[in-house]
Copies of this chain bind each other. A is one copy, B any other.
Amino acid sequence: MDNWNYRTVGIPDSEFIRGEIPMTKEEVRTISLSKLRLKDDSIVYDIGAGTGSLTIESALLASKGRVYAIERETEGVDLIKSNAAKFQVSNLEVIQGSAPKALLDLPEVDRVFIGGSGGKLEEILDVIDKKLKAKGRIVINAITLNTLNSSIKKLEELAYDFEICNIAVTRTRQVGDYQMLQGLNPVYIISGEKG
């Protein structure tokens, strides 16, 4: 499954080359991409890109645009590159570094996904606000209450239109003849649009 020949997103988690780095799981990734409302020619930042699963899917959709994947860990940077090679996408750039500093030299942007913020979410949102075009969109995945609260506080301050949902996915796992219920960690997805 090295080419993803579908118009829809949702590459199975197991198709990505993975290390010890956390990964945005298929269903949460699918909804996050949906809330981003990508276009063919979108310029995208993927901040805290991890294994690059969202980077790859964004790049496949924004085939005439460009995706900037920001990741501070060397292992993550290598995984993103490996996955880009596996899925044959080249309209992306991997930047090793931490946001917001790593964002300063990047071009203006249409869509921003924040999967990880290293405790600097508010500073990151301040910098993004200067780079984000009118009607541009930001989607944040929060796995802590702190990130959820910082997102709300800052998006209110910046007067973005935003909505929040929480996604709790349970998968079944076949064990012998049994379908066992396995709960994944719930994720808050905050989606904002610049006025």
Contact = CB atoms under 8 A, between A and B. Distances in A.
Interface of A: 5-10, 26-27, 30-31, 33-40, 61-62, 143-149, 152, 163-172, 175, 177-188
B146 A179 contact: yes
Contacts of A144: 175, 178-181
B165 A167 contact: no
Contacts of A33: 8
30 contacts: A6-B38, A7-B38, A7-B61, A7-B62, A8-B33, A8-B34, A8-B38, A10-B31, A27-B31, A27-B34, A27-B165, A30-B30, A143-B180, A144-B180, A145-B148, A145-B178, A147-B178, A149-B149, A165-B171, A165-B172, A166-B169, A166-B170, A166-B171, A166-B186, A167-B167, A168-B168, A170-B185, A181-B187, A183-B183, A183-B184
A72 B146 CA distance: 33
Chief secondary structure at chain A's binding surface: mixed
Contacts of A181: 143-145, 166, 185-188
Given A6-B39, A39-B6, A186-B170, A164 B179 contact: yes
B168 A163 contact: no
A151 to B, nearest CB: 11
Contact of A37 (B8, B168, B178, B187): B8
B180 A183 contact: no
Nearest to A149: B149
Given A152-B179, A179-B146, A36 B61 contact: no
A53 to B, nearest CB: 13
Given A6-B37, A39-B7, A182-B185, A163 B167 contact: no
